[in-house]
Structure 1
Amino acid sequence: MNRRTFVSSALAATGVALLSNPVRLFAQTGAPRFKLGYGPHPGMFKAHAPGGILDEIKFAADQGFTGWEDNGIAGRPAAEQEAIGQTLKDRGMQMGVFVAHASFDEPTFAVAKPEYREKVLASIRNAVDVAKRCGAKWFTVVPGSVDQQSDKTEKWNRYGGPRLAEGYQTANVIALLRECSAILEPHGLVMVLEPLNWYRDHGGVFLQRSDQAYALCKAVNSPSCKILFDIYHQQITEGNLIPNIDRCWDEIAYFQAGDNPGRKEPGTGEINYRNVFRHIHRKGFTGVVGMEHGNAKPGKKGEEAVIRAYREADGF
């Protein structure tokens, strides 16, 4: 499951073990809240809440989730955006990220073309309006692809011009991010830059690594430009998760989760999510951890498995 797909899907007070009473967990309302603000997304609980997004939000809240994530909310009608925001507010939940700008195949930030700049800034202005309607604070920006060389020559790119050296590309990215930040700062909104892996999902994107994202944020030097640390992507790209989280900590505003391999719920792959979640909780993280992954199994049983997985990972 990649970003393109996403853009275009209790424990009782007595301490009874989760697996001993699954029926009560999924039937009850007011389950204990999770320690971290995990954020499901539309479609994750559709079998339990077939009435649509608002019903899914209510179901998620009843299971103890305090976040919500909807990458594609910018494409929904304004009235629906407002309804989602109000429902989250009523349930005491935080709205997580949506995608404000995500270019995977064009160097929209790395190459300083007027048409790229206008496209990016228009998407940021639109994101301000969307964020106000749905109550969001953060939204995702993927700063395009690298300026790639063509198959014909190393000197010319596939966009009809000379391929830029890496330093010039980075300077262009920083300059445009500063323009975006200037739009966002008066509104107190934050674009979060997401490094994506080249090895499985997004070969050719400009931003790949946590240290690269950290350097960009330091260069932009704005409270409106921070890091989205997607644990799934960074496990593939660089591993060494907890040390890299620590090194980037002062620029991280948002996390996303998904196990590897498979990009399903925690416990289906190799990442020790209980340790990672415990670490960021102890460091004081109070934002949203977006559940940007699929369900390993279909239907109600698969949805119940997702909830159990997060109870297990949150049980530190």
Structure 2
Amino acid sequence: MNRTEFLKNSLLATGTLVAGSSINALAVKASESAGNAILAGKPFNLDYAPHEGTFAGHAGKVFTDQIRFMHNQGFRSIEDNGYLARPVAEQTQIGNLLEKLGMRMGVFVVDGGDNWKTSLTTGKKEFKDHFVDTCKRSLEAVKRCDAKWLTVVPGFNERKLPYGIQMANVMDAMRAGAEVFEPHGLVMVLETLSDTPELFLQQTHETYSLCKAVNSPSCKILFDIYHMQRTEGNLLINIDRCWDEIAYIQIGDNPGRKEPTTGEINYKNIFKHLYEKGYKGVMGMEHGNSQKGKEGEARVIQAYRESDNFID
């Protein structure tokens, strides 16, 4: 029996041959090009986490069906930025399914409506109080999905205030948030973003300084590789410099914010670097698909199989 036939039979035998020939053909192709029999359904070396919609073409519109498909393809975590806004019954359903499948919840966003405007940098009590209340509300959602990490965005610059005063205001708010999360062993991860110059946190060293000043195990860095490539580059150097404060990582190639292999970032090398540093956390797939439909979804899986094939 040749290797292609063997791979197909193995997929059938393990119950991981999914609907649509595109996934199977690409899985076989990826395996052969890598020189290893990497089967669809085998867990990855790192814990990559798709989000709702990544595989809707194959799994349909229902998120829980998509989660089952993700698990069948070897993914062991999900990411759901909007989880906090879901109805309680839906949160519970997702959490129960993750527990049943042995999967982890990645980040969801602590968002009370102030993340994308000038808010915490002002030092105004109303914004700080709202942030703390949203942190407390997040505690109940966490219980339903056994989450550990929660994304925090401090909002936009307050240009009427000097930078140092803004940093002190954000620091004060983050300490208050950490006081909410620390007794529960939860970690808010501060995301450094490139979407607009109005955002307060633009580069890793700023977030690093903020986390050091807050000085809590519940206040760490979310290192989004896509954003950091856009704003500062030197990805491996900056990862190493800030390693002791990085608790969560997100993925997206640049330009375009699509899956690895579509842009300029050498993700295979970055994944190997993270693996060798002993990273055991979730790797959020916070990007779109470069191609539409089932073929595009198959390409996403193939891209991760290729980039994850870094162990000699």
TM-score under structure 1 length normalisation: 0.85
Q: Deviations over 1:34-57 (max 9, x none)?
A: 011100000110011015111111
Runs of 4+ residues deviating >3 angstroms: 11-16, 24-27, 102-105
Instruction: Assess if the C-alpha contact under 8 Å between 1:110 and 1:147 holds in 2.
Output: yes
Q: Larger helix proportion, structure 1 or 2?
A: 2
Stretches of structure 1 that go unaligned for 5 or more consecutive residues are 1-10, 149-162
| Contact persistence 1:109–1:143 (CA under 8 A) | yes
Structure 2 Cα separation of the partners of residues 314 and 131 of structure 1: 29
Which position in structure 2 is the counterpart of 1:155? none
| Structure 1 segment 37-52 matched on structure 2, within 5 A | 37-52=47-62
**Residue 90 of structure 2 is aligned to residue 96 of structure 1:** no
Shift of 1:103: 3.8
Give the TM-score taking structure 2 as reference length: 0.87
* Correspondence for 1:312: 306
Structure 2 CA distance, aligned partners of 1:44 and 1:168?
A: 41
Query: In the alignment, is residue 60 of structure 1 matched against residue 61 of structure 2?
Result: no
CA shift digits 1:188-215 (9 cap, x unpaired):
1110000001xxx222100111111111
Rounded to whole Å, the distance in 2 between the matches of 1:173 and 1:89 is: 35
- Counterparts of 2:164 and 2:61, CA distance in 1: 50
The 2-side partners of 1:292 and 1:141 are apart by 15
Percent of aligned positions that are identical: 52
Structural RMSD (CA): 2.4
**How many residues end up aligned between the 2 structures?**
286
- The residue that corresponds to 1:23 in the other structure is 24
Preserved contact between residue 80 and residue 106 of structure 2 (Cα < 8 Å): yes
* Cα pair 2:27 2:302 within 8 Å, conserved: no
Q: Distance in 2 between matches of 1:278 and 1:294?
A: 23
Report the alpha carbon displacement of residue 94 of structure 1 after superposing the two structures with TM: 1.1
SS of the residue 1:54 aligns to: helix
Question: In 2 relative to 1, CA 314–74 (structure 1 residues): closer, same or farther, beyond 3 Å?
Answer: same
Which residue identity lines up with residue 211 of structure 1 in the other structure? H
Structure 2 unaligned residues grouped into runs of 5+ = 1-5, 12-20, 29-38
1:84 counterpart letter in structure 2: I
Match of 1:196 in 2: 193
Task: Indicate conservation of the 8 Å contact 1:258/1:291, yes or no.
Answer: yes
* Superposition deviation, residue 248 in structure 1: 0.7
